[in-house]
Structure 1
Amino acid sequence: MQLAAIREARAAKVHEARSLLAGDKLSPEQQAAFDKLKGEITSLEADEARAQFLEDAERRSAGPLDKARNELHGAVSLVEAIACQVEGRAAAGAVAEYSREIEQRTGKKGVFVPLSAFEARAQTTTSAAGIVPEDFRPDLFVGPLRNSLVMRRLGARVLTGLRGDVVIPRQKTSHVAQWIAEGESLTESGMTFDQLTLKPRHVGALTELSRQLIQQASPQIEQLVRDDMSAVLAEAFDLAMINGDGVKEPLGLLNTPGVQTANLATLSWDTVQAMMLKLGVKNVSPTAWLTSPGAAMKLATTLKSSTAGAGYLLENGTLAGLPVAVTNQVPGKGTSPVKGQIVLGDFTEMFVGVWDSVQILVNPYAETAYKRGGVMVRALMTADVAVRRPEAFVVASDVAL
């Protein structure tokens, strides 16, 4: 029995026993009933003590368990997950423990690393010779330039640890209040609902590592391998969040039905304010702008007005008081000429679902890598994106560049 049910039963027995003592003297039958109730109350008190002990123990253990799980995730080595497959041996340590946990939870077999510990694309010893010798300077490592990753920074909500499809109920319309005259009837109204669904979609990176790099590099190679492959996957996912086609990729913001549109063919303070008004009439408070470098340059070189001393539309990284995120991930629109695109919206209305284990698979026999003494490494992560309220965004796709 649950603790609350035990206490309720005990209280009922106490009340029953007290009612027997209401008279001046107990009859033999009442005495027998009282003795029986006394034994039942004593038994329930023992049950209550045991249930309370277990409840307290569960409460005390919740913190340490989470801490232990976080410590396990932090101890997982991506390089070990790769090296054990290159060397044809079983995974060891934290990698083995985490992979067993995933197998028990999902039934999938393989070598896994948690998303929090994951990040990888690699270098061969030819292109990364500076990280094999003893005089290793990770602080001077120059990584590849990446398109700016902006969507999570703009406030998209991230749901982690998902299993299977995720269905989120969404209210479309609400009740309507009405003023009526004396004797007039109210018109019936009601709420309508639909649903938002996040489905597992897969994004992967395939890259090459040299055997010498895996076997001889200093421990700092772990962070370099993580950082680079992480950037590859994150960049692909960020692009899908913005412009995904909804077929293999998640359906991106720019392709989501119901997103509002605006006209910025003539850039001016008035057209910018008109774009903001579209969200205002929908009771949406925008959090940021999103655009490409070309469109950002046009904003930064367009005056608010012809009045002497007037500022530019984009100044100090803000437009109309809101931050502007700039990335090459925002594509141009059309051809001959290509037009720039600008997005305004409440980016907390975007949901990112992450099924949070990344599977690492090593193929030491891939033909091209094998000839060079390298191995191919494949990393797969599973995630999806959905826009909860499309009307919380407005897009202008006609900015002259």
Structure 2
Amino acid sequence: MTIQTPGNNPSLTAAEVAKLLVQPLEQASSFLAAGPQIIDTAGPLRVPRIASGASAAFVAAGAQIPESAPTFDEVQLLPSTLKGIKSLTKLSAELIREATHTVGALDQVISTRLVTDVSNVLDTALYDGTGASDTIKGIFRQTGITTGVLDLADPDSLIDGLAAAQGNHVAATHWVMTPQSFAALRKLHVGTDDARYLLDPNLHEGTQFTLFGLPVIITDYIPNTGTAPGKARVALVDFSKVIVARDQSPSVTVLDQTFGDYDTVGIRVTARFDVGLLSPKAVTLLTEA
């Protein structure tokens, strides 16, 4: 790994620069903010659930009541083999000292930046992780979710998605879609000769976007699928049925002795999460035909 030094970072040690460090533009972390159930655990987590309930029937007075029993299964999260998300950056002591007058405590700035980078990787995995090689399997890849057809030129396809969720007795809490998909829906007009927008603009005031009464999460973490340019996807999610196992939130460790022979400070950020669905029907995923 390359150690960051004053020589290869002259912009941080110039004599006259503003005392700030401009961060790249990026989307905010949205998955955990949507309100899933979070359970802290240091080991594997098993969440029992009722797969099917007991049956009931009308029984005459004095007649034998038929026996019935619920069946159970479980959601298993955070297996011991699940990998964590980790990042390590090394800064020379000279760079930290010489950049202090430029950007403040550079090690603190970098620590904050690394936490953001780890959170971005986490969001990607929680939404759409493949689960390959002992990594997180996101909610859009879970077995048994409801699927449907999306047509960004016809809002009826979204209503069909709502109907599918309601038919599964799911009270969806959020739409999840990319900025491009949301823009395509907002651009729909009443008719060829009527320039009014089909969706009421009042539903999209400020940054609190809604569609059909539900808040919209705008994120790049629901990428298109299929061949280029790809098929757009829109998800309808009941986040109250989403469960997150958290072994470790993004945590920062400053390694001020490990690389002492290089007079270098290491900054390590680690996190370990897993995600599952209390009911697979909590997710309705619509994909363009």
Same fold (TM over 0.5): yes
- SS of alignment partner, residue 69 of structure 2: coil
Distance 1:332 1:297 in 2: 15
Match of 2:217 in 1: 325
Match of 1:201 in 2: 83
Distance 1:354 1:150 in 2: 16
Distance 1:313 1:341 in 2: 22
Match of 2:127 in 1: 242
Match of 1:341 in 2: 233
1:204-219 aligned within 5 A: 204-215=86-97, 217=100
- SS of alignment partner, residue 35 of structure 2: coil
Match of 2:22 in 1: 142
Is 1:152 equivalent to 2:38 in the alignment?
Answer: no
CA shift for structure 1 position 151:
0.5
CA shift for structure 1 position 197:
1.7
Opposite residue 281 of structure 2, the aligned amino acid is: E
The correspondence for 1:393, drawn from 276, 283, 286, is 283
- SS of alignment partner, residue 263 of structure 1: strand
CA distance 1:305–1:287, shift in 2 (3 Å): farther
1:51-90 aligned within 5 A: none
Distance 2:69 2:160 in 1: 32
1:2-401 aligned within 5 A: 125=6, 126-127=8-9, 129-130=11-12, 137-138=19-20, 141-160=21-40, 162-181=41-60, 185-199=64-78, 200-215=82-97, 217=100, 220-247=105-132, 248-265=134-151, 267-303=153-189, 308=194, 309=196, 311-312=198-199, 315-316=203-204, 317-356=209-248, 358=251, 360=253, 362=255, 364=259, 377-398=267-288
Q: In 2, are the aligned partners of 1:262 and 1:396 still within 8 Å (CA)?
A: yes
Give the TM-score taking structure 1 as reference length. 0.59
- SS of alignment partner, residue 353 of structure 1: strand
Opposite residue 155 of structure 1, the aligned amino acid is: G
Q: Name the Cα RMSD after superposition.
A: 3.2
CA shift for structure 1 position 192:
1.4
1:333-392 deviation per Cα after TM superposition (whole angstroms, max 9, x unaligned): 1004411110101112222222237474756389xxx6xx86654433222222221101
Distance 1:128 1:304 in 2: 55
CA distance 1:177–1:204, shift in 2 (3 Å): same
Q: In 1, are the aligned partners of 2:252 and 2:269 still within 8 Å (CA)?
A: yes
Distance 1:131 1:327 in 2: 36
Distance 1:228 1:164 in 2: 28
- SS of alignment partner, residue 201 of structure 1: coil
Distance 1:171 1:134 in 2: 65
Distance 1:306 1:258 in 2: 40
CA shift for structure 1 position 208:
3.4
Distance 2:65 2:193 in 1: 55
Q: In 2, are the aligned partners of 1:124 and 1:208 still within 8 Å (CA)?
A: no
1:266-314 deviation per Cα after TM superposition (whole angstroms, max 9, x unaligned): 6423221111011112221111111112212211212467795453388
Opposite residue 149 of structure 2, the aligned amino acid is: N
CA distance 1:310–1:301, shift in 2 (3 Å): closer
Distance 2:177 2:10 in 1: 34
CA distance 1:331–1:123, shift in 2 (3 Å): farther
Match of 1:21 in 2: none
> Which has the higher relative contact order, 1 or 2, with Cα contacts under 8 A spaced 6 or more apart?
2
Opposite residue 212 of structure 2, the aligned amino acid is: A
Structure 1 window deviating more from structure 2 (307-316 vs 375-384): it is 307-316
Larger Rg computed on CA atoms: 1
Q: In 2, are the aligned partners of 1:292 and 1:328 still within 8 Å (CA)?
A: yes
CA distance 1:147–1:386, shift in 2 (3 Å): same
Opposite residue 204 of structure 1, the aligned amino acid is: K
Percent identity, aligned pairs only, is: 24
CA distance 1:132–1:310, shift in 2 (3 Å): closer
Structure (1/2) with the larger helix percentage? 1
Distance 2:38 2:193 in 1: 45
CA distance 1:318–1:306, shift in 2 (3 Å): farther
Give the TM-score taking structure 2 as reference length. 0.79
1:198-254 deviation per Cα after TM superposition (whole angstroms, max 9, x unaligned): 215311113332322334526643541232001111011100001111133211011
Structure (1/2) with the larger strand percentage? 2
